Amino acid sequence: MLQVKNISFGYHKTTVLENISFTVNQGDVLAVVGESGSGKSTLLKLLYGAYDLEKGQLFWKDKEILGPKFNLITGPDYMKFLTQEFDLMPATTVEKNIGEFLSNFYLKEKKRRTDELIKVVELEDFAKTKVRFLSGGQKQRVALAKALANQPEILLLDEPFSHIDNFRKRSLRRNLFAHLKENNITAIVATHDQEDVLPYADNMMVIHEGKKVEMDTPQRLFKNPKNKLTASFFAEFNEFKLSELTDSNTNDIILVYTHELKLTENSKLKAVVKKSYFKVNHFLIEAEFNERNIYFEHDTKLDKNENVYLEIQESIINKRL
């Protein structure tokens, strides 16, 4: 188990991470999400032992992870960190880069592992190509395979698919996360992309301005987000006062995703359609309600200035209160 016990850190005087605690079970994937600058990369660097903590402690199993004051070489040997800058040998082929740290003593095993990882990152056609001739996304895939080559116990991934196009991303993600589970590799993934999180992460931690806001399974956080930041990571949402949705006269705010608002015959929620945006499998409708814009999803385009009535399932309202 990875244990993060109440850690705090700042690069200079300003605190970047404050009193963060969490645990990750061996073989689990934890996604760390948050706005740009919230401290995700810094957290990964601390887990890697790249800096000395101001406060708190880190443990993998019963071993403490310590910073540069205590270690000449950064990074424990059971851990690999795939950063946003890839550390590759440009004049060397893809397969040699991936196998760089694999022992030449067992050449057959080296070849088997290299071939297996080339398949995981779908670079079979480029095995013999020198890295300097590859695109940014291809280089990122080589770096990923290289990080997996020595079977780390923990893999730290900082925006692992940021350079990879949408055509390739989906299958690559499936391959990678399947490989991690099959090999019981614990992974911490910093990401902006919900597609990295929803299908694969066992848990998700939301950080905001260096503080842990929420941590739970992605499904639970999606169904019942406690704050706007968490909801906005998953989907577009509206804010309603409870009194706008029910007969209650309290001003509690309820977050309602755009897909949770449905057209109905008659309701308190009467809006006027302003615009329809095409969104692959539905239209996102912009409508005016109580002198502000609200958004909902609908199968077809709706006419401008059309009056619509909307409803939300009562069970959703009750859960969010």
Ligand X SMILES: Nc1ncnc2c1ncn2[C@@H]1O[C@H](COP(=O)(O)OP(=O)(O)OP(=O)(O)O)[C@@H](O)[C@H]1O
- Which positions lie near ligand X, rule CB under 6 A? 11, 16, 34, 36-42, 190
Q: Closest approach of Cβ 54 to ligand X, in Å?
A: 14
Q: Closest approach of Cβ 263 to ligand X, in Å?
A: 38
CA-wise closest residue to 43 among 20, 72, 68, 25? 20
In the bound state with ligand X, the residue whose beta carbon lies nearer, of 37 and 90, is 37
In the bound state with ligand X, the residue whose beta carbon lies nearer, of 7 and 131, is 7
Q: Closest approach of Cβ 171 to ligand X, in Å?
A: 25
In the bound state with ligand X, the residue whose beta carbon lies nearer, of 191 and 276, is 191
Q: Closest approach of Cβ 44 to ligand X, in Å?
A: 8
- Inter-residue contact 289 to 271 (CB < 8 Å): yes
The distance in angstroms from the start CA to the end CA of the chain is 34
- Inter-residue contact 8 to 18 (CB < 8 Å): yes
Q: Closest approach of Cβ 11 to ligand X, in Å?
A: 3
- Structural tokens at position 103: 């022992």
- Inter-residue contact 171 to 182 (CB < 8 Å): no
In the bound state with ligand X, the residue whose beta carbon lies nearer, of 34 and 160, is 34
In the bound state with ligand X, the residue whose beta carbon lies nearer, of 229 and 263, is 229
Q: Closest approach of Cβ 262 to ligand X, in Å?
A: 35
Q: Measured between alpha carbons, how far is residue 222 from residues 126, 225, 227, 256 in Å?
A: 39, 6, 11, 11
Q: Closest approach of Cβ 173 to ligand X, in Å?
A: 19
In the bound state with ligand X, the residue whose beta carbon lies nearer, of 40 and 141, is 40
CA-wise closest residue to 302 among 321, 269, 278? 278
d(C-alpha 264, C-alpha 185), whole Å = 48
CA-wise closest residue to 203 among 5, 40, 34, 31? 31
What are the b/e assignments for 260-271, b being 16+ CB within 10 Å?
Answer: bbeeeeeeebeb
In the bound state with ligand X, the residue whose beta carbon lies nearer, of 188 and 256, is 188
d(C-alpha 205, C-alpha 217), whole Å = 9
Chain CA centroid to CA 18, Å: 20
How many Cβ atoms are within 10 Å of 42's Cβ, its own excluded? Answer: 20
In the bound state with ligand X, the residue whose beta carbon lies nearer, of 37 and 68, is 37
Q: Closest approach of Cβ 35 to ligand X, in Å?
A: 7
CA-wise closest residue to 42 among 200, 196, 195, 156? 156
What are φ and ψ of residue 315, in 5° steps?
-65, -35
Q: Closest approach of Cβ 191 to ligand X, in Å?
A: 9
In the bound state with ligand X, the residue whose beta carbon lies nearer, of 189 and 261, is 189
- Structural tokens at position 188: 């911490």
